[in-house]
Structures are given as structure tokens and as C-alpha cells.
Amino acid sequence: MPILRNLGRAARQLLQSSGCGCGVSLVPVRGIGVSPRQVASDAGFHSVTFSESDHPRVLITGGLGQLGVGLAKLLRKRFGKNSVILSDIRKPADNVFYSGPFIFADVLDYKNLREIVVNNRITWLFHYSALLSAVGEANVPLARAVNITGLHNVLDIAAEHNLRLFVPSTIGAFGPTSPRDPTPDLCIQRPRTIYGVSKVHAELMGEYYHYRYGLDFRCLRYPGIISADSQPGGGTTDYAVKIFHDAMKTGKFKCYLRPDTRLPMMYIDDCLKATLEVMEAPAESLTMRTYNISAMSFTPEELAQEVQKYVPELQMTYNVDQVRQAIADSWPMNFDDSNARRDWGWKHDYDLPELVTTMFSYLGSDSRIARAN
């Protein structure tokens, strides 16, 4: 197909971009464009030989994003360093490469991906490869290829080799006609970005493969994910990361959303914990294939009030970006995650006060910060 062969250059160009318009900074851009000969050579490089054990043997695609590296660290701690292979099409930093097995994996190269699964006896696959909202809207053909064709490759390989497959979804899978407060697991979903559409497609295809072929497909809809070790990328919920950096550097923050814009949020440790928990949950306890998960829901004004307990002189102003405001206004205000809490015991650890304390603790002290007692 010529369109796929011609996407390599676009993918390489997009890898230089850090933009994200979806607000959930899950993963960076994934691409294609590597020759089959190159793939065949790379597929066996820096792979591992697993010892016999009861631990799952894990592959993470799109692993160099916000969540992949942290997930690999969590899984390696639980299952052993050599039981978890991190993969991407980009060159990893030295600390990531030497922290555990890393391999090149292009989700659009079916043969390469299948070889990795077979040669490394993979049993669990976490599929994080995706083009996010803003980048996807700028290159819809590439987003279709990575987010949909890549998913189809993963689904077929997972079904063929009896893998347990995790694919993340997002608040972006909902649209302006979805109920917003709260948003249940099952409701109308009519997103208006190719990223959101591809995530709804993933949810439904995963469910279909489960009922048609017996695939052990599991999916969580992530809210806005907040972490201190990643820089804000301009997404809709990224204000909730940037406010901490600006508060510590300048004591001033200009917010691009209205002060009363309520969105569901989660600290990254809770997100990773939920992901592992749903993968470890007994199959018989799951009543659905895709679950909402939530921890807290707040507005920029509420977040600023909590931040001011640490930086009392913080000056908060608002300059509303109509594009991002429109996106936020179409997203859930609160997630109903009662099914996750009932079925597999989901329980978050971080509410807003704990989130703020942890962020400031991670980012370090500053002479202006007066910590609350």
C-alpha cells in the first residue's frame, strides 16, 4: 500500500514534535519507515532469554512515553528485570537502555512484532503506541495507520499467541454528547478527533476479539495523568503540571482554561498501580473489558488554592484558549469508576492534597515555598 510506504518521513518528522492536544500525555509519536531487512537484524538484538517461572513475560510497545518507562520499572520490580521488554522505534536514553531489556519494535511491521513475541515467549503485551490528538489531527493518514492498523496487528498477534493484552483508552474517547457528570462506563461515545475515534475503535475491537476469539483483552480509560518527571506538552490537562513549574520558578501562572473547568485527574503512581491491578485481576472477576478509573476531579481554581498553601504569593491569571477550552468542555467532568472499584478492588491513593504535596516534594524545595503544617 503506497500510503504506508510514504509515511516513514512524516513519522520521523513528527518524532521531533512534543505537541499533544489530547490532554492525556500517554505516549509520544510512533512511526514507521524501517526496511524489513533492518527490522530482521534489529529483532534479535538486546533480546533476552527468560528463565522458567510463573511470572508473565512482558512486552511494552511505545514504551518511551510518559507511562511506558514507569510501567516497566514497576513490572520489573514485581516480576524481575529480564521479564519485561521495553520497546519503541526511537533510541532510548542510556539510563533506560541499561535499566533492562530494550528492543526496536514497529507496530506496523507485523512480521517483526510477531517474531519478538515468539522469540521472547511473551505472555503479556501492553500496547502504548499511538499518535495523540493534536499530532493526529495534523496527519490523519499517519494516525489511522499507527492507531488503527497498528492495533489490528497487535490484536491478531495477541489472539494467535494467547496473550493477555492491555490497551489504554482515555477521556478523549468521549464527546460532547456523552454524559459528563458523572460519565459512566457505558454511554454514547462520539469523539471528534481521530485519536478519540481510534480509542473507541480499540475498545470495541478488543471486546469483539474477546467474545469472538477468547482474547484476554483489558482496557482502562485514563483521566488526565499528572507526573513531576515529565514536562508539560501543551495538552488540555497539562496546565495541572505546568502550574507547579511556574509557581516554583516565577510565582505566576497563566491558565488557558476557565477557572471553573472541572476535569478528572490522576497522579501517575495511581495510574500505573491501576494498570497492574487490572492485569492481575482474575478473569472471572471482570464483568467488562473496558473500565473507567478515577482518583480526583478538580478545577484550575481549586488546584491554585491548594498550590497557594505552598506558594502563598502565587498569582493566577486566566487567558482562555478557545480550542483547548472547547475540548475540555466536551470531556467528562467526573468519571464513574464504581465498576472498577467493585469488580477488582480499585482504590486510589492520591487525592488533591496528596498530589500537590508529592509534586512539590519531587520538584524540590524553593526559598519562596512556605510548606503548610
Is 350 one of the catalytic residues?
A: no
Determine phi and psi for 290, rounding to 5 degrees. -125, 130
Q: How many helices (H) and strands (E) does the chain have?
A: 16, 13
Beta bridge partners of residue 199, listed in sequence order: none
Selected catalytic residue, list 128, 195, 209, 222: 195
| Closest C-alpha among 229, 217, 230 to residue 127 | 217
Q: Which residue in the block uniquely carries the three cell numbers 499517519? A: 142
Half-sphere exposure of 184 (CA within 13 A, CB side): 4
Long-range contact pairs involving 244-252 (C-beta distance under 8 Å, separation at least 24):
244/307, 244/359, 244/360, 244/363, 245/363, 247/307, 247/310, 247/311, 247/314, 248/311, 248/360, 248/363, 248/364, 248/366, 248/368, 248/369, 251/311, 251/313, 251/314, 251/315, 251/368, 252/314, 252/315, 252/317
| Cα separation of the two ends of the chain | 63
Phi, psi of 363 (to 5 degrees): -75, -15
Residue 117, CB half-sphere, CA atoms under 13 Å: how many? Answer: 27
Q: Are 166 and 218 in contact (CB under 8 A)?
A: yes
Phi first, then psi: give them for residue 39, nearest 5 degrees. -60, -45
**Contact residues for 300 (Cβ-Cβ < 8 A; gap 6+):** 239, 240, 243, 255, 257, 258, 259, 261, 316, 318
φ, ψ of residue 224 in degrees (nearest 5): -65, 130
Residues labelled catalytic: 195
